[in-house]
Amino acid sequence: MTDKAEQLAQRRRHLIAQAASQRTTLARQIEPWRQPLAHLDQGLAALRYLKRHPFLVAGGVALFAALRPGRAGLWLRRGWLAWRLVQGLRPRR
């Protein structure tokens, strides 16, 4: 093998070992975030599901209003305000 080819092979081995070390370090640093990010992912999946099935949200609100008529008005106002706030933050098309 030529000197140049040997240098390239040695550099390649070094880079492969360096990448493996970096992957190990990164995996160790990310580990504490694995569980919180999994919960966040589940929450986002639930929100996407509710977005695809808005009748479930409307049914829940109607049930809440029927079971607690006194407090329903307050929560409906808060819900309306939250919905308007989210709509105001969304980009216009």
For the chain, what is the domain count?
2
pTM assigned to the model: 0.51
User: Cα–Cα distance between 18 and 11 in angstroms, integer?
Assistant: 10
In tens, the pLDDT along 50-64 reads 889 888 888 887 887
C-alpha dist (Å) from residue 81 to 8, 10, 18, 34, 53: 64, 64, 53, 34, 21
Instruction: Tell me which H or E stretch contains 26.
Output: helix 3-52
Same domain, 36 and 57: no
Predicted local confidence at residue 1, as pLDDT: 62
Domain of residue 74, residue span:
53-93
In tens, the pLDDT along 1-30 reads 689 999 999 999 999 999 999 999 999 999
Same domain, 27 and 62: no
Give a yes or no: residue 48 inside a domain.
no
Predicted local confidence at residue 26, as pLDDT: 96
